[in-house]
Every structure is written in structure tokens, then in C-alpha cells.
Structure 1
Amino acid sequence: MGRWQPDARGRLAQAAMELYTERGFEQTTVDEIAKRAGLTERTFFRHYADKREVLFGGASELQDLFADTLAGLPAGTSPMAAVGTTLEVVSAEFRERHAFAQQRHAVITANAELRERELVKLTSLASTAAEALRLRGVKEPGASLAAEVCIAVFKVAFESWTASPGHTELSVYVREALAEVKTVTAEA
């Protein structure tokens, strides 16, 4: 592929995921990713700060989606209803990304440093959700508890979805995980 062809960022992401899957994250270099994409190392660094960013580059957009969705819900929406609606909206963003999500999950699971980074990302999402709930008037500890449940449901649903063949949408797994939360908390 020549450098003039469109979607350099997408080509770099695809090349990186292929190499991470074939060789492992640690054994893959930025130069190899760029060459596989038919681009230069310099072009890689125009799109990504480092090779981890291929896996984590959308984190701020995901945080914004959580915060904006929670903020935009009607006043009086209960915290858990807000969580459910937000997770439905977030799930829709993953509709066409199952194969990438599966590869990404496998790469992260195989590397301790990346697993740690994923946990930091999830913690940051929980903080964002808690702050958005507080701005909606949810008092503590309710805001933090609802936010942590939100992220736990998202994590469990996402792991189930990436383990699946992809015929079922992420939102179905989200609804199943939310129903399970209701079941286990009903015993309290």
C-alpha cells in the first residue's frame, strides 16, 4: 500500500492488532507495525503516541460518552436507570467492532502491563460516571456505588461479548448483567 492511500490510522490499528496477535505485544515494534501498514514510523507517531495507544486510544471518547449520556438523561431518572440507559448507549458504539474488541481483549489479557492499564482505564471510567451522577444530584455513597456497578456490569458484559462468536449485540450482555445485579442484590 502506498502512503497516499486513505485511513492511515485504521491501517495502522489493523496492522498492530495482526502483529500483536501473531507475535505478541512486547515482541512487536512500531517500525514493524508501520511497515505492515505500508507506512512510515513517522506516520505511526502522527497517529499514536506509542504502540499501547492502538489499544487505548479511544479511552477519552468513551469517558466523554459516559459523562455526556448521564448528563443528558431526564431529571428524576434513578441512578440505576441512568446506568442502564448509559450502558445501552455505550453498547451501540461497539456494534461494528466485535472482531477488533476480541483481538484487543486477547492482547490485553496476555500482558500484565496492559491488564494494569485496562484497570486504570476502568477506574477512570468509574470516576467519570460517579462525577456525572453527583452532578445529577445523586448523593454519596450512592453515586460511587452506582458508578462502580456500572463499570462492573460493563466489564462483565464486555468480557462475555468478546468471548462470544459476535452474533449477539453487546447490549444483550449488558441487560443480562444488569438483571443478574438485580438478582444478587435482591438477596441483601
Structure 2
Amino acid sequence: MARWQPGAQERLVVAAVDLFTEQGYDATTVAEIAARAGVTRSTFFRYFSDKREVLVAGQATLSRLLAEGIAQAPQGASPLEAVAAGLERASAAMGPVNRDLGPRLKAAIAASAELQERDALKNIGLADAMRDALSARGVPDPTAHLAAELGVLAFKRGYARWSEGERDDATGLAPHALAALEELRTAAGTLG
């Protein structure tokens, strides 16, 4: 395989998730991930500082898309309507590879305390990006913080439903994330 063949980062993510699922996170080495992806160890380290970082591949892009969607929401949009716009924008970037990785990634994270920790940090980063975008719209901090946290939870719930759902469902991630956000809005209204 050519050293600079396109798609190396995506192949590394798929290889890592497959190996984490097959043999566990702790038993998987960077060399094995690189070999499965058909690249060298040095190519692995061009994309990731360590094997744990494979889990957050695309986090910066996802954070940016969420924030852009919130910023581009109509001026009179409520905080949760702005979050919905962010979810729609980010969902548009999620394709078949993201969907196929979902169940395997969930299993790998569930089996490793280290990956659970990294996943929690990823969620904090996504919430921070949304909170900052909401604050830039003039949303007060407590409201921005709560709306951002609901946005992360809606994204996670929607992604889980989408990735674990029927493969003939071609609607994409957005309807699942938006439905989850609406469920959370309704649930929040019952808290009293």
C-alpha cells in the first residue's frame, strides 16, 4: 500500500475500533492498528498522539460544525432552537462510516475505563463549543450551559439510535438527534 494513500486517518479509526472490539483496548498496540490500516507507525503518529486519541478523531470538526450551526440559527431562535440548528449542521457531516462504527465504538468504550474517561472529555469539549456559541448569541451563562449539555445528550442519544437502527433507514442522523432533543425538552419540563 502506498505510504500516502488517501483516507489513512479514516482507516486508522476503523482499524483501531475493530481491534479494540476484537481484543480489547489494553491488548491493542499502535503497531497493530497501523498494520491493520495498512500504514506505518509514523503515519499513525501524524494523526494521533496515542491510541486513546483515535476515539476523538473528528472532535474538532464536530465542535466547529455544532458551533457554526448555532451561530447561523435565525436571530430570534431560542437557545434550544439554536442547538437544534447546530445538531442539524453537525449531523449532515456524519456518513455511513460513522454509522457503522457506532455499535463497535460503544462496545469498545464500555469495556475500557480509559476510553470512558476520554469519551467524557470529548463530551465536555462538545458542550463547551456549544455553550460558547450560545454565549456569543447573548444567551446567559446558566441557560447556555444547560442548553449545551442537552445538546450533547441529544446528539449522543440520536447517534445511538441512528447507528443501532435499521439499515434501510436512510433519513440520516439529524431526525434522530432532533427527536432526542425534543424528548429532552419535554422531560426537562416535567422536572418541576
Give the TM-score taking structure 2 as reference length: 0.87
Q: Which residue of 2 aligns with 1:55?
A: 55
Indicate if the aligned counterparts of 1:98 and 1:166 stay in contact, CA closer than 8 A.
no
The count of residues paired between Structure 1 and Structure 2 equals 188
Q: Determine whether 1:77 maps to 2:80.
A: no
Change (3 A) 1:110 1:137: same
AA matched with 1:29: T
AA matched with 1:100: L
Deviation at 1:82, TM superposition (A): 0.6
Indicate if the aligned counterparts of 1:9 and 1:47 stay in contact, CA closer than 8 A.
yes
Among 169, 175, 185, which residue is 2:178 paired with? 175
Q: Show CA shifts across 1:17-65 (max 9, x none).
A: 2222211111011111222233221222122211122221211111111
Partners of 2:4 and 2:58 lie apart in 1 by: 25
Calculate percent identity across the aligned residue pairs.
Answer: 42
Which 5+ residue runs of structure 1 have no aligned equivalent? none
Q: 3-state DSSP class of the match of 2:50?
A: coil
Q: Determine whether 1:184 maps to 2:191.
A: no
Which 5+ residue runs of structure 2 have no aligned equivalent? none
Partners of 1:10 and 1:175 lie apart in 2 by: 26
Indicate if the aligned counterparts of 2:87 and 2:151 stay in contact, CA closer than 8 A.
yes
Q: 3-state DSSP class of the match of 1:141?
A: helix
Partners of 1:130 and 1:136 lie apart in 2 by: 10
Partners of 2:54 and 2:189 lie apart in 1 by: 41
Q: Which residue of 1 aligns with 2:99?
A: 98
Q: 3-state DSSP class of the match of 1:52?
A: helix
Partners of 1:44 and 1:32 lie apart in 2 by: 11
Deviation at 1:3, TM superposition (A): 3.4
Deviation at 1:135, TM superposition (A): 0.8
Partners of 2:147 and 2:42 lie apart in 1 by: 43
Indicate if the aligned counterparts of 2:13 and 2:57 stay in contact, CA closer than 8 A.
no
Partners of 1:4 and 1:102 lie apart in 2 by: 29
Partners of 1:42 and 1:185 lie apart in 2 by: 48
